[in-house]
Amino acid sequence: MRRLQIEIVELPLARPFVISRGARLAVTVVRVAIEQDGLCGWGECTPTARYQEYPDSVCEQLEAMRSEIEAGIDSQGLRLKMPPGSARNALDCALLRLDAARTGRSLWQVAGCRPPVAGGIVTAETLSLGSVAMMSAAAADAVSRGATLLKIKLDRDLILEKVSAIRACAPQATLIIDANEAWGGVDLHSLFTALQPYNIAMIEQPLPADDDSDLMRCAHPIPVCADESCHHAGEIADLRGRYEMINIKLDKCGGLTEALVMAEEASRQGLRVMVGCMLGSSLAMEAALPVAVAAEIVDLDGPLWLAEDVAPRLEYSAGRVWFASAPSPVLSGENAPQQPMVLSDE
């Protein structure tokens, strides 16, 4: 008999996280544990108000699935029963980890993915929205610590000034821009052209998801990536002509199972793949690594914003996320399971 545990956890941030939609000083995550025969799988999700998700509503979704989870539903069955979103992500990742623990395999093997290469994987470090001086200082600090891929959060204000200052502080870094839907009404042709000299690798979600048709009517000298406009595999075919890339996030699509389907569908449709994240702990980031290994751009820096991560945690250094350690169980309470997760094939 399985047993499902659910917990809401608030994670304070080490510093404010600011995007075009607002600022955050903490992030609230929902964590689940699925225990069976003394073994356990864990999952973590971050409810996002942009998608009408809140901790209480996600917990209601999880409770609605309790009987089926405890009766033995698997990840494929879960994908048919629940809509995409953070609640399904938490359960999907927990079920995959439970399967790994019960069969003596790694998460990579359960997901059917190649294991990570030695040395980790390059991940973006996000530059929170701020003044020109603040963002250029953050870029200089990130580069001094070894970051080679910087993600610039922007709104409509001082776009070129901020990008110019950041490029001056990070002349060798790869730069990507995330507008979080803030460039509605902007002359995109002129802006894209003006950004070209700064060698920008990609621009993420410049227009609102429900009003992005202008992307079909302007040239893309810089590749454009769908984030808010792309949640699950069924939406990918319709993105052609507007985007060159999709951002796969487990909390949007509903877990690693759907993320792998999305990666395959993107390849069929000729779209490149980025793997991103919401703010969250290493427990959430580790679940995305099997699909991130084959992605062109990886943005899994969520734990770098936390005042305290789970322990032990994924290792972040020199602009990479390393595979040396794995997150341990994090649910509280005297009955919380104690088995460690399986991370690598070693």
Same domain, 155 and 273: yes
CATH number (domain holding residue 143): 3.20.20.120
Spatial separation of the C-alpha atoms in residues 254 and 87, rounded to whole Å:
7
Same domain, 76 and 206: no
Q: For residue 343, what pLDDT is reported?
A: 33
Same domain, 94 and 147: no
Q: Is 92 annotated as a binding residue?
A: no
Same domain, 154 and 284: yes
Q: Is 227 annotated as a binding residue?
A: yes
Spatial separation of the C-alpha atoms in residues 138 and 166, rounded to whole Å:
9
Same domain, 229 and 274: yes
Q: What is the pLDDT of residues 141-172, one digit of tens each?
A: 999 999 999 999 999 999 999 999 999 999 99
User: Which of 86, 111, 136 is where one domain is finished?
Assistant: 111
Is 252 designated active site? no
Q: Is residue 336 part of a domain?
A: no
For residue 175, give every residue at least 6 positions away whose Cβ sits within 8 Å of its Cβ, in sequence order, or none: 150, 152, 163, 166, 167, 198, 199, 200, 201
Is 293 exposed, middle or buried (CB count within 10 Å of its CB: 0-12, 13-18, 19+)?
A: middle
Q: Is 114 helix (H, G, I), strand (E, B) or coil?
A: coil
Q: What is the pLDDT of residues 29-74, one digit of tens each?
A: 999 999 999 999 999 999 999 999 999 999 999 999 999 999 999 9
pLDDT band at residue 331 using 50, 70 and 90 as cut-offs:
low
Domain count, the chain: 2
Same domain, 13 and 76: yes
CB 48 within 8 A of CB 17: no
The per-residue DSSP string of 149-196 comes to EEEEE--SSSHHHHHHHHHHH-TTSEEEEE-TTTTTTS-HHHHHHHHG
Q: Is residue 345 part of a domain?
A: no
This prediction's pTM: 0.92
Q: What residues make up the domain containing 129?
A: 121-322
CB 136 within 8 A of CB 125: no
Q: Is 37 annotated as a binding residue?
A: no
Query: Residue 288: which of 33, 87, 107 has the closest Cα?
Result: 107
Same domain, 129 and 107: no
- Tell me the backbone φ, ψ of residue 329, rounded to 5 degrees: -55, 145
Same domain, 211 and 246: yes
Give the residue ranges of DSSP H helices in 254-293.
Answer: 256-269, 282-292
CB 323 within 8 A of CB 289: yes
CATH number (domain holding residue 36): 3.30.390.10
- Who has greater pLDDT, 287 or 338? 287
Catalytic residue among 151, 153, 162, 252: 153
Same domain, 165 and 274: yes
Same domain, 70 and 127: no
Spatial separation of the C-alpha atoms in residues 242 and 229, rounded to whole Å:
10
Is 153 designated active site? yes
Catalytic residue among 81, 151, 162, 249: 249
Sheet holding 3-19, edge to edge: 3-19, 22-36, 39-45
In terms of DSSP bridges, do strands 22-36 and 39-45 run parallel, antiparallel, or are they unpaired? Answer: antiparallel
Same domain, 151 and 215: yes
User: Which of 45, 78, 111 is where one domain is finished?
Assistant: 111
In terms of DSSP bridges, do strands 315-317 and 320-322 run parallel, antiparallel, or are they unpaired? Answer: antiparallel
